[in-house]
Amino acid sequence: MTPAAAPVLSASGLAVSRAGRTVLQGIDFGLAPGGLLQVLGANGSGKTTLLRVLCGLASADAGTLQWHGRPLRAGDPGFQQALAYLGHANGIDIDLTPAENLHFAARLAGRHADAGQRAASVARALAAQALERVAQVPVRTLSQGQRRRVALARLALAPRILWLLDEPVTALDADACARFQRQLDAHLAAGGMAVIATHQLLPAGGAVLRLGGAA
Ligand SMILES: Nc1ncnc2c1ncn2[C@@H]1O[C@H](COP(=O)(O)OP(=O)(O)OP(=O)(O)O)[C@@H](O)[C@H]1O
């Protein structure tokens, strides 16, 4: 039997309170390369809170988080550079077009040797989300699902090993969900990891963390 890979990201006994109320407690998980954790729960059960703690936007009251076997400190630059966080907000500029947003993301990522390579990557990312037809119109004129697809396309331009995605398929139609599934499969197959908050289990598999709180 092949031994299980050691977790790269792990949580032990995490507890989080908000406004004096315990939102999360006893949260334990481990995520190894290629691993997916689906965080499943009703409205208000703490899914977003957990993702915000994982990416350092909020702190836990108890428990530990480890990254590569070492305690994770808020703002750890190595960790910040390893993660991509997609929250409820898409994090894109609605006054720019999808193509402009993606060019900007590609420039920030600084992974392309020249403008030609950058343009090719942007074109591939747009095509992977079937956004070619709306690539040159301002994002403010796009639907919620189209905007979400621009945000998902951005994941392809600044590759990060750990995706923290808050309800990524909300507003996506069936075709877009299938494209996201392929994108996620490729990320995991390449050794990436993902923590995904969701109301309904995605077909992607992986481990499931069920949160109890009331709706
Ligand atoms: N900044 C805050 N101050 C006070 N309470 C908060 C704060 N942020 C979250 N909460 C509370 O924490 C609980 C969990 O909220 P959270 O947004 O994590 O839930 P969720 O599972 O992501 O919900 P949804 O499915 O509706 O997105 C809720 O009761 C919410 O009111």
The protein residue with its alpha carbon nearest to ligand 1, atom 13, reads 44
Pairwise CA distance, residues 2 & 74, whole Å: 34
85-119 pLDDT per residue, tens? 999 898 899 999 999 999 999 998 888 878 899 99
Ordered by start, the domain boundaries in the chain are 9-210
Pairwise CA distance, residues 53 & 60, whole Å: 6
At residue 112, the pLDDT reads 80
Q: In CATH terms, is domain 9-210 a member of 2.20.25.570?
A: no
At residue 212, the pLDDT reads 83
187-204 pLDDT per residue, tens? 999 999 999 999 989 998
Residue 138 CB-density burial (10 A; 0-12 exposed, 13-18 middle, 19+ buried): middle
Measured CA to CA in angstroms, residue 124 lies from 82, 112, 153, 187 at distances of 22, 14, 9, 15
The protein residue with its alpha carbon nearest to ligand 1, atom 26, reads 43
Q: What is the mean pLDDT of residues 171-192?
A: 96
Q: What is the mean pLDDT of residues 38-58?
A: 94
pLDDT band, residue 215 (cuts 50/70/90): low
The protein residue with its alpha carbon nearest to ligand 1, atom 17, reads 48
What percent of the chain is predicted at pLDDT more than 70?
97
Q: Mean pLDDT for the chain? A: 93
23 C-alpha to ligand 1 centroid (Å): 8
At residue 138, the pLDDT reads 98
| Pocket around ligand 1 at a 6 A CB cut-off | 18-19, 23, 41, 43-49
Helix (H) or strand (E) holding 174: helix 174-189
Q: What is the mean pLDDT of residues 4-8?
A: 85
